[in-house]
Amino acid sequence: MELGSSATMSRELVVLAFTYVLVHYLTGVILRSKRASLPLPPGPRGYPVVGALPLLGRAPHRALAALARLHGPIMHLTLGRQGLVVASTPESARLLLKDHGGSFLDRPVDDAGPMVLAYGAQDLVFAPYGPKWRRLRRECSAGLLGPKALADWADTRHEEVGRMVRAMSRRGEALEVPEFLFAAMANMIGQAVVGRRVLDEAGGEATREFKEMVVELMTTAGLVNIGDFVPAVAWMDLQGLGRRMRRLTTRLDRAWSRLLSDHEVAMANRKQDGSRRTDLVDRLIACRDHAEDVGDGVTDLNIKAVLNVRTPSPLG
Instruction: Report the residue count for the chain.
Output: 316
pLDDT average, residue stretch 299-306: 89
What's the pLDDT at 5?
A: 55
Show Cβ contacts of residue 227 under 8 Å, excluding neighbours closer than 6 positions.
112, 233, 234, 235, 236, 237, 238, 239, 241, 242
Contacts (Cβ under 8 Å, ≥6 apart) of 33 = none
Whether residues 235 and 91 share a domain: the answer is no
- CATH code, domain with 191: 1.10.630.10
**What is the arithmetic mean of pLDDT over 239-250?**
87
Rounded CA separation 36/277 (Å): 56
Would 189 be classed as within a structural domain?
A: yes
Q: Compute the average pLDDT of residues 82-106.
A: 85
Shared domain for 17 and 88, answered yes or no, is: no
Number of structural domains, the chain? Answer: 3
Please report, rounded to a whole number, the percentage of residues in the chain having pLDDT higher than 90. Answer: 14
Which domain does 16 fall in, by range? Answer: 1-37
Nearest CA to 276 out of 262, 288, 287, 290 is that of: 262
| Among 20-34, 49-63, 148-162, 272-286, the least confident range | 20-34
pLDDT value, residue 1:
45
Phi, psi (degrees; rounded to nearest 5) at 77? -130, 150
Q: What is the mean pLDDT of residues 226-231?
A: 79
286 in the same domain as 148: yes
- Among 97-106, 145-154, 195-204, the minimum mean pLDDT is found in 195-204
pLDDT at 316 over 70: no
For residues 300-316, give the mean pLDDT.
Answer: 69
299 and 180 in a single domain? The answer is: yes
130 CB-near residues (< 8 Å, 6+ apart): 295, 296
Q: Tell me, what's the pLDDT at 218?
A: 76
Nearest Cα neighbor of 278 from 158, 92, 149, 117 is 149
Which long-range contacts does 295-298 make (Cβ < 8 Å, 24+ apart)?
Answer: 295/130, 295/131, 295/132, 296/130, 296/131, 296/132, 296/134, 296/135, 297/132, 297/135, 298/132, 298/135, 298/136, 298/139
Are residue 154 and residue 245 in the same domain, yes or no?
Answer: yes
Instruction: Show Cβ contacts of residue 156 under 8 Å, excluding neighbours closer than 6 positions.
Output: 188, 191, 192
Residues 65, 189, single domain; the answer is no
Check whether residue 87 and residue 137 sit in a common domain.
Answer: no
Q: How confident is the model at residue 159 (pLDDT cuts 50, 70, 90)?
A: very high
In a domain, 171, yes or no: yes
Interacting residues of 302 by C-beta distance below 8 A, sequence separation 6+: 122, 123, 127, 132, 136, 284
Residue 35 has pLDDT above 60, yes or no: no
For residues 22 and 162, state if they share a domain: no
- pLDDT for 3: 46
* Residue 193 parent element (H or E): helix 177-194
CB 307 within 8 A of CB 221: no
The pLDDT confidence band at residue 154, using thresholds 50, 70 and 90, is: very high
Q: What is the mean pLDDT of residues 63-72?
A: 92
Mean pLDDT of 249-275: 82
Report the mean per-residue pLDDT for the chain.
79
What mean pLDDT comes out for the span 143-168? 90
Task: Give dist(CA 139, CA 282) in Å, integer.
Answer: 10
Is 0.75 topped by the overall pTM? no
Domain end (from 104, 122, 149): 104
d(CA 42, CA 229): 20
- Has residue 176 got a pLDDT over 50? yes
pLDDT at 120: 84
pLDDT at 36: 45
- Say yes or no: 234 and 98 in one domain: no
SS3 category, 255 = helix
Q: Do 89 and 154 belong together in one domain? A: no
How close are the terminal C-alpha atoms of the chain, in Å? 57
Q: Which of 104, 122, 141 is the last residue of a domain?
A: 104
